[in-house]
Amino acid sequence: MTLLRPRGLKPGDAVAVLCASSPVSSQERLESGLRAMESVGLKPDVFGTARDGGSQYEYLAGTDSERAADLTRALADPKYAAVFLACGGYGAQRTLELMEWERIDRRAPKVVVGYSDVTAVLEAVAVKLGWVSLFGPMVACGGFWQGADEYDFRELMKLLYAPAEVRQLSFPGARALVSGVAEGVTLGGTASLLAASFGTDTSLPARGAILLLEDVDELLFRLDRIFTQIRRASYLDGVRGIILGTFTECGEPEDVERLLAERFGDLGVPVLAGVNIGHNCEMQTYPVGVRARLDADAGTLVFLDQVLADDGRHVGSIVPNGTGVAAAVVLDSTLGATQPL
């Protein structure tokens, strides 16, 4: 399976903003996130699901068919360079049931960004379309809606506007649960969503992968159940390395740490824990579908291929079967281009 890399973005690009899951919690936050996008030259087009307050069920942004139609249209319409999910919550699995994948040109990849419940969408984009995507902040959530100066937003924009400069992710506060170095293709996301996809036509096993797992608001026994399901489902067969992100509101930190070590420490692969990817942290953006090298002892993930194309060409990487520091990017309103700080 070859994954195509979307091109990075440029000022003036039209981008779609929609919900594939729950309604946004605040339209004010959505508007703030849209202003942040406009401040770096993007032109967001807000779809109906991002405005729906829960017309069918309070936990769903519109009907399943409306969410699927919005996502299908955004992925299929060539005028959009990217699709930004406004929030997560619940409902992406329902949305995927009604997707019209045949309407989408697989040869024309575009950036898709989101996390949490959107994990299911990113996994489906890899399986159904063969595209690299980004497990990253969402328009009406976290450090995105709070403005263009926020860490989450700036890290995402670095990758989108200057992909050639983003060659690795560094996690100075992380810790090696299992030492070692491994190479593989970056996969994963929110653990409960990956488990929920098992047995469907959009599940992508972790063979040959550097696998990210994170979650939020799961009692410890439920987290244990999710991890055990992941193990027993043979999902981890052939995994090369594991990155463990945030597990906030999942119990006492020392209990979570013990569970992580017990469930993933016996696999014979490097395991890096405590990375700032996921819920309730200053979040780095994690690409899904890129060859990378994990060094658990150094606390780094080095990309072996450029994450996004910067010139419109799409470089593929095979999903089995130079290190640098990312430059901060701002929009130069005079030149209409991005410049490194």
In this structure, how many other beta carbons lie within 10 angstroms of the beta carbon of residue 112? Answer: 29
218-270: pLDDT as tens digits:
999 999 999 999 999 999 999 999 999 999 999 999 999 999 999 999 999 99
Reply yes or no on whether the pLDDT at 334 is more than 80: no
214 flagged as catalytic: yes
| Confidence (pLDDT) at 142 | 84
Give residue-wise pLDDT tens across range 20-67: 999 999 999 999 999 999 999 999 999 999 999 999 999 999 999 999
Looking at the fold, whether 86 and 46 belong to one and the same domain comes out as yes
Same-domain status, 114 and 195: no
Judge whether 227 lies within some domain.
Answer: yes
Catalytic, 55? Answer no
Q: Of 150, 214, 218, 317, which residue is the catalytic one?
A: 214
Is 244:155 a contact under the CB 8 Å cutoff? Answer: no
- Count how many domains the chain has: 2
| Mean pLDDT score of the chain | 91
Number of continuous H segments (helices) and E segments (strands) in the chain: 9, 18
Predicted pLDDT at 338: 34
Q: Check 66, 150, 218, 279 and give the catalytic one.
A: 279
pLDDT recorded at residue 1: 55
Radius of gyration of the chain (CA): 18
Q: What is the pLDDT of residues 114-162, one digit of tens each?
A: 999 999 999 999 999 999 999 999 999 988 999 899 999 999 999 999 9
Confidence of residue 300 (pLDDT cuts 50, 70, 90): very high
Quick one: pLDDT at residue 2?
Answer: 67
Buried b (16+ CB within 10 A) or exposed e, 262-293: ebbeeeebbbbbbbbbbbebebbbbbbbbbbb
pLDDT of residue 328: 30
Q: Please report whether residue 326 resides in a domain.
A: no
Q: What is the pLDDT of residue 318?
A: 34
pLDDT at 330 over 60: no
Banded model confidence at residue 214, pLDDT cuts 50, 70, 90: very high
Instruction: Assign residue 50 the CATH number of its domain.
Output: 3.40.50.10740
Q: Can you give the pLDDT at residue 320?
A: 33
What CA–CA distance (Å, rounded) separates 173 from 167?
19
Same domain (yes/no): 130, 35: yes
Asked if 102 is an active-site residue, the reply is: no
End residue of a domain, out of 163, 191, 225:
163
Question: Which candidate in 116, 192, 197, 317 is catalytic?
Answer: 116
Structure confidence at residue 26 (pLDDT): 96
The Cα–Cα gap between 15 and 24 comes to 18
Q: In this structure, are 205 and 135 located in the same domain?
A: no
- Expressed as residue numbers, the domain containing 156 is 2-163
Q: Report CA 182 to chain centroid distance, whole Å.
A: 21
| CA–CA gap between residue 32 and residue 52 (Å, rounded) | 17
**Amino acid identity for residue 269 in this structure:** V
Are residues 257 and 204 part of one domain? yes
Are residue 117 and residue 16 in the same domain, yes or no?
yes
What is the rounded CA–CA span in Å between residue 249 and residue 271? 22
Give the pLDDT score at 315: 44
- The whole-number pLDDT of residue 310 equals 84
Domain identity same for 11 and 154? yes
